[in-house]
Structure 1
Amino acid sequence: MEARGGGGGAAELWRQMAAQRGAVERQIAAGREREACTSAAYRAALLSARSCSRQTLSRQGELNGLKLQFRKLEDHLAEALSIKVSKESKCQLTKERISSTSAINEQLKSLVTDQRKKRDQHATVISNQLETVEALEANCKEDETWRKNIEEAVTWYRKFLGFQVIQGQGVKFVFNKVDVRSPDKEYSFTIKINKNRYTLLQCDPSIRDSEVLMKDLNFTNDLFKFVRIIRQRFQDEAATVNGIQH
């Protein structure tokens, strides 16, 4: 009975040990399974981290590339703005030059027009003077009274004051001993006659009231008096220039 009983206790012990061993094995298997799952999750996380790292590095490279492109674009923009400002400045300067040139051209056109008008007027005056000279020269050959008056005036001035008479387009009276400070300085005037009418062609320097004097000469026909008055006007002019009070 005791032997049987002892045999039954051993069997129970073996049963319990087997049950515990099974439990331990199950725990070990479960632990290995958890470890495998953990290892797999770790590897997956590591792979994901590596992928993210690669993506991050790739994106960082792309970002650096974009920054470099952005800097280049900024440089290009700055250069373009500089060129734009320079061109606008040049354009404004060109507009100002064009405006100035246009104004100058208008002035030149006006000046040319005025010069043409003056040229035409001078041509008319010269033509009229030439006609007058030709007629006067023809009349001078026949006007003995006019010659006599000139000869009397020339004789008087040659005798007392000294001067020269030059024949040409009319008769030119050239005086010296007019300016006390410059006795050799010459003063002159030129007259012609056409149909018994005197014309003053030249007077150097010009004198005041020359038109009035010519009217008086044509009215009185006193050439001698006219020459004396002209010389007196020259003396007055010289005194004024020299600051001499009469």
Structure 2
Amino acid sequence: MTEDLVPGSLSQEALKEELDALTGNIRSWGLEYVDDGEKTQSLAMHFRGTAKEKGEELKDHLTDLQAEYVRLEAALGDHWAAVERGRESIAEQRKREAARTELISQRLEIKRRGEDKVSIAMAEISGKLDHRKQKLEALRKATSWYKELLGIRCEYSNAVKFIFTNIDPANPEREFSFSIHHDKAANKFSMVDCDPPIERSGPLLDSLNSSNELSQFVRSMRWEFVSLAWENQGDESS
């Protein structure tokens, strides 16, 4: 068959080959498209399944996170409540410590004042004791001298007995004595014994009960003994 050739155009055979090649390519493309579509659908189904699983996992995880958040929020609330209680306890403890410190300070101040008062009192007592010791020492010396000079001593029982020596010039060791008793209820002195007897002992005793001057009474009685001793000595001389 004679081929009609058109300048610049393909031959019928060449066109057929080209169409066959194109058809083959289209078929191949279609198969690839179907294969790609199946793959895409398979991947989509896989992704949907995976996404669902992941969604469920994320949902469960979110639920767990929410529960953990609630637990942590409650724990945080308990923590801050405990912190607040701790602050209140610390504040209360500080108040008690401050009150205790103040009480201790007050007691120490009272103790110091008491010690100062005791120190002052002890100083006064010490001064009085020193003064009294001085007076007692002076009195002891005076009494010792008085006893030595006048020869006087005392004996005590129900009555007080005054014994004198150094009265009789002829016999300095001779004893002159008298005993008196004090009735506390009546606040009155009475003569129990007088050796040798003194005529004026009665008036002297009355004077003692009026004035309560025992030392004056003792000196007066000794003078009466001295007078009596000198009178007796004068009688003996004559």
TM beyond 0.5: no
Q: Find the structure with the greater CA-based Rg.
A: 2
Normalised to the residue count of structure 1, the TM-score between the two structures is 0.43
Larger relative contact order (C-alpha < 8 A, sep ≥ 6)?
1
